[in-house]
Every structure is written in C-alpha cells, then in structure tokens.
C-alpha cells in the first residue's frame, strides 16, 4: 500500500502511486452520495487546515473530506492566527504540532512553504497550494475527473490555456499528467509562458484556435492578477479576444473534448458563460471529486486499513 509521509507536490509521484490515489478516491466517492455521509475511518484523528490565502473550494473540500471520515477538523486562517502578531510560520506550525494533530493542511502564498513546514515538524503535511509552485490535490482531482469520463489517461492530449507562469495548478498537472503518459500543450500569451518550460516535456502554442483542435481535454485558467508583479497584458479585453474559450472557438475542437477549470472562474474573461455551462464542462464534477481525492489522501497518509472504509 502506498503510504506517503506527506503530500508536498505532484513532482515525484509515480504512475502506480497516482493510480492508487485515484482508485482509493473512487471507493470514497460513493460515501458522499449516502444520506448519512460519514464513515468511522479517521475517528479520533485531528486534521488542522491552516490557510493563509483565500479559498472556496480547497478549504471547504478538505474540511468536508475530514468530517466525512469522522476526523476532528480545525480551520485556522492566516488573518486569525498569531502570525499577524509577528510569529513566524515555522513557530506557528510547531505550536500547532504541539497539540498533536494527525495531518496539517497548509495553503500559503509563498512557494516552498509546505515543504519548509514539513522539514520542521513530524506531522504529515498536505500542500493545499503554495505560491506558484504546486497544488497537488488539484492536479489529482483533475486527473480523477478526466479518468472517470474518458476511462483512462494514457495517451490523452491536454491543452492548458492561460496564465501559465503564475499557475501552481499547471505545474502540478504537468508532473502528474506526464507521469500518467499524457501529452501536455501549454497555450497563452508569450509573456505568460515561462522560458524553457518545454524542458518539463510539454509543448507550447500561442494560438488558441489552433492549439485545441486535436486535444481530448481543455483546461482553462484564470489570470492571476494577485500574483503578477509586472504588467503582462495590455488589457483584459485584449486577453479575452485572444484566449477566451467561446462556443465559436470550440467548434474547432473534437466533439467529445472535455473542458475543465480549477476555479475560481472569471466568467467572460477566460471562458464564455455558455461554454462553462455546456455539457462538455466538468467544472463542478472537479469540485465533487475534490472531496473524494482529499479523503483518499487523508486515508493513505494515516495508513488506514481497508475494512475501516465502511
């Protein structure tokens, strides 16, 4: 059984490990459809969610995942923690660890924050997004969503479109998708595509209409204005004119292409309303799968036995 010490990134995850996570998530997904959405698997365990950045999906999803496994879940936001009084992140993590949690989930605006914490505490750490570095649970739920619709992942072609440079979701997806034998094409304005990103085994295209023609999945991304310290766009309108996924552009794609987006979505900027709400869009399926994937990771991290699932 795959029993990681922490989940700090998708980088380094092997194919069989990803398959184990997704298969485990498959078994957990059904629990969320029951009238009583709770199993005793992690009863008596404590999970702390420490979020220093805003989050709708990830924070709620981790909380629901822990509660559905009967763990006690504590939520702490950066603005209500003692970091606002000058305490540093390592001291905060070590003080939380002194209360004996079983998993610490961390989201932080600094790349490397999750790894730094994990080097300074013994408790397993899950990276819920660190700067523009990684967001491994998002990549895993993206793969789960694609796999349950397409049946398998090997050989699928994916176009990831938008602000590649500032996206932790892209980095985690590149690692996870490449491990699963998928082909990744990055699409966006040249100012938003890092130099030499091809060294990660991906291709690059600057023209949306051309780039989506032969792919099985299109992942649209938000422009991350909160992470941009340079003016990389002449205007959002110009960006939309070139990179918004509209139904007209989508006519060029395969009939069975899937559309995903990690959220939050800026409607009308990177994706048109009708495309977002079309039957090809799996955006809300991704959110549903996020709970199952996070349940699976908590279960695997704590080394649960199969008979405690029911």
Site of interaction with ligand CP (CB under 6 A): 55-58, 129, 135, 138, 262-264
CA 74 to chain CA centroid, Å, is 21
Residues 6 or more apart whose CB falls under 8 angstroms from that of 296 comprise: 21, 22, 24, 25, 27, 28
Active site residue 57: yes
Annotated active-site residue in 107, 147, 166, 222: 107
The distance of closest approach from Cβ of residue 10 to ligand CP in the complex, given in angstroms and rounded to an integer, is 14
How far does Cα 93 stand from its chain's mean position?
Answer: 22
Nearer to ligand CP, 41 or 173 (CB): 173
Q: How far is the CB of 216 from ligand CP (least distance, A)?
A: 21
Strand residues in the chain grouped as ranges (E): 46-51, 72-77, 103-108, 125-130, 157-161, 183-187, 203-205, 217-220, 258-260
C-alpha angle 282-34-22 in degrees, rounded to nearest 5: 50
Q: Residues 41, 46, 58, 137: which is the catalytic one?
A: 58
Nearer to ligand CP, 63 or 115 (CB): 63
Of the candidates 4, 305, 309, the one whose C-alpha atom is nearest the C-alpha of residue 140 is 4
| 85 among known catalytic residues | yes
Could you tell me the end-to-end alpha-carbon distance of the chain, in angstroms, rounded to an integer? 18
User: At its nearest, how many Å lie between ligand CP and the CB of residue 248?
Assistant: 27
Nearer to ligand CP, 6 or 55 (CB): 55
Which of the residues 135, 185, 280, 294 is marked catalytic? 135
Closest to ligand CP by CB, 39 or 128: 128
Exactly one of 15, 57, 178, 254 is catalytic; name it: 57
Residue 103: both structure tokens together: 């998993």
Q: Please tell me the distance from the alpha carbon of residue 82 to that of residue 198, in angstroms, as a whole number.
A: 41
Bridge partners (DSSP) of residue 103 are 47
Tell me whether residue 185 or residue 261 sits nearer to ligand CP (CB atom): 261
> How near is the Cβ of 1 to ligand CP at its closest, in Å?
28
Active site residue 108: no
Residue of 33, 85, 199, 230 marked catalytic: 85
Cβ of residue 242: shortest distance to ligand CP, in angstroms?
A: 24
Tokens of 77: 């936001």
Active-site amino acid positions: 57-58, 85, 107, 135
């Amino acid at each position: 059984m795959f029993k990681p010490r922490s989940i700090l990134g998708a980088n380094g995850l092997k194919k069989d490990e990803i398959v184990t996570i997704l298969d485990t998530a498959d078994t957990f997904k059904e629990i969320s459809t029951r009238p009583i959405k709770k199993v005793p698997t992690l009863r008596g365990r404590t999970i702390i969610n420490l979020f220093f950045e805003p989050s709708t999906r990830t924070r709620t999803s981790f909380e629901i995942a822990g509660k559905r496994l009967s763990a006690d879940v504590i939520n702490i936001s950066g603005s209500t923690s003692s970091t606002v009084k000058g305490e540093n992140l390592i001291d905060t993590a070590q003080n939380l660890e002194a209360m004996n949690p079983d998993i610490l989930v961390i989201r932080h605006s600094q790349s490397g924050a999750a790894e730094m914490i994990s080097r300074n505490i013994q408790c397993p750490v899950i990276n819920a997004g660190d700067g523009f570095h990684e967001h491994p649970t998002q990549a895993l739920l993206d793969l789960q969503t694609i796999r349950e619709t397409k049946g398998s992942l090997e050989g699928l072609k994916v176009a990831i479109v938008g602000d590649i440079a500032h996206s932790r979701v892209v980095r985690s997806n590149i690692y996870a998708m490449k491990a699963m034998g998928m082909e990744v094409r990055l699409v966006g304005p040249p100012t938003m595509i890092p130099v030499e990103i091809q060294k990660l085994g991906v291709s690059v295209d600057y023209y949306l209409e051309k780039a989506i023609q032969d792919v099985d999945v299109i992942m649209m991304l938000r422009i991350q204005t909160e992470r941009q310290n340079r003016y990389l766009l002449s205007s959002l309108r110009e960006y939309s004119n070139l990179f918004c996924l509209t139904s007209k552009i989508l006519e060029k794609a395969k009939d069975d292409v899937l559309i995903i987006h990690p959220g939050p979505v800026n409607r009308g900027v990177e994706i048109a309303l009708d495309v977002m709400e079309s039957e090809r869009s799996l955006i809300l399926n991704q959110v549903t799968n996020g709970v199952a994937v996070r349940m699976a990771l908590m279960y695997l991290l704590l080394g649960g036995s199969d008979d405690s699932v029911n």
